Amino acid sequence: MSRGRQLAEEALALTRRMLSLAQAGDWDGVAGAIGARDAALMQLFAGVSDAAQLLGVEATLRAVAANNAEIIALGRESRDDIGARLHALTRGRQAAARYQSTDRF
């Protein structure tokens, strides 16, 4: 296996791990794996002097990109869910504050 293919496969394995962690809601785990995955990709691309050298790993890189898109989508869903929960919490606090302000009589 060429060094380029090895790095691409490593990046794919790490990206799949990140996707699994994202699906489980382990965003700290995702953040922890980003550095290793990005390092593998940086090493891969650092050794490329022309795009033809990537032809052997094109499918693997496409899989990395597809998995990454899923991770981003899950992150957005999680962000939106947290926003909705915070909004509901704020509404609840406001309602409790209003109730307490009228309960003094």
Rounded CA-CA distance 89/34 in Å is: 32
Angle between helices 58-102 and 3-23 (to 10 degrees): 20
Q: Could you tell me the domains of the chain?
A: 3-102 (1.20.58)
CB 11 within 8 A of CB 40: yes
Of the listed ranges 6-10, 27-31, 99-103, the one predicted with least confidence: 99-103
Distance from C-alpha of 70 to C-alpha of 30, rounded to nearest angstrom: 13
Question: What pLDDT digit, counting tens, does each position of 50-99 carry?
Answer: 777 778 788 999 999 999 999 999 999 999 999 888 887 887 777 777 77
Residue 59, H or E segment: helix 58-102
Structural tokens at position 30 = 């995702």
pLDDT digits (tens, 9 = 90+) for 16-58: 999 999 999 999 999 999 999 999 999 988 877 777 777 878 8
